Amino acid sequence: MRIGSGYDVHKLVEGRDFIIGGVTIPYEKGLLGHSDADVLTHAVMDSLLGAAALGDIGQHFPDTDEAYKGVSSLVLLQRVKELLEENFYLIENIDATIIAQKPKMAPYIPAMRENIARVLGIQLNQINIKATTEEGLGFTGEGLGVACNSMCLLTSAADYRYDDRSYEYQGASNGCAGCSGCALKNK
């Protein structure tokens, strides 16, 4: 199993849509960025790429590339899913926290979960999204920006054995924690 963490932050500005988790939320400001600046989806992508040791979103989708200007972050998330599949990783779960003073996120979280689950091809119970404020403190508390943290757990498809009916988890391919002497390996 592999754990990944991701963090993203974007400045709030006038004249931009406020998009988080692929949901456009009515608000007087939006997030500034090269793409749609979807802070949640960016943090999720970085946690997935980090767990798989595949770099980060800046490496795969640089803000100097015009191909990504204004692009939906859900399109980028689809490419991250493809990278995980190419490297035989399965998503166990994702847990993310949006940090924003305003607007209230709770009404939009179900749609955010559905969007991310749909793109990644996972079940709703594999993605959790929550939101918090910073009680008026810091740049998020002052309404200057929005931040997001994400954690994920991946497993490698190489750690599963198929027996004509189902998959069974076999543990890490080299034994527990990569050692060759794990007693569980011989069971």
Per-residue pLDDT, averaged over 177-186, amounts to 46
Known binding residues for a divalent metal cation: 8, 10, 42
- DSSP letter for each residue of the chain: -EEEEEEEEEEEETTS--EETTEE---S-EE-SSS---HHHHHHHHHHHHHTT---HHHHS-TT-GGGTT--HHHHHHHHHHHHHHTTEEEEEEEEEEE-SSS--GGGHHHHHHHHHHHHT--GGGEEEEEE--TT-HHHHTTSEEEEEEEEEEEEGGGEEE-SS-EEE---TTSGGG-S--GGGG-
pLDDT of 118: 97
pTM: 0.84
CATH H-level, domain 2-158: superfamily: 2-C-methyl-D-erythritol 2,4-cyclodiphosphate synthase (3.30.1330.50)
Report the chain's mean pLDDT, rounded to a whole number.
Answer: 87
Read off φ and ψ for residue 176, nearest 5 degrees.
-60, 130
pLDDT of 127: 97
Known binding residues: 8-10, 34-35, 42, 56-58, 61-65, 100-106, 132-135, 139
pLDDT of 121: 95
Higher pLDDT, 158 or 105: 105
- Nearest one of 63, 50, 56, 157 to 94, comparing CA atoms: 50
Read off φ and ψ for residue 108, nearest 5 degrees.
-105, -10
Place of tokens 């640089």: 62
Number of C-beta neighbours around residue 138 at 10 A? 13
What is the tens place of the pLDDT at every residue in 87-127? 999 999 999 999 999 999 999 999 999 999 999 999 999 99
What is the tens place of the pLDDT at every residue in 25-64? 999 999 999 999 999 999 999 999 999 999 999 999 988 8
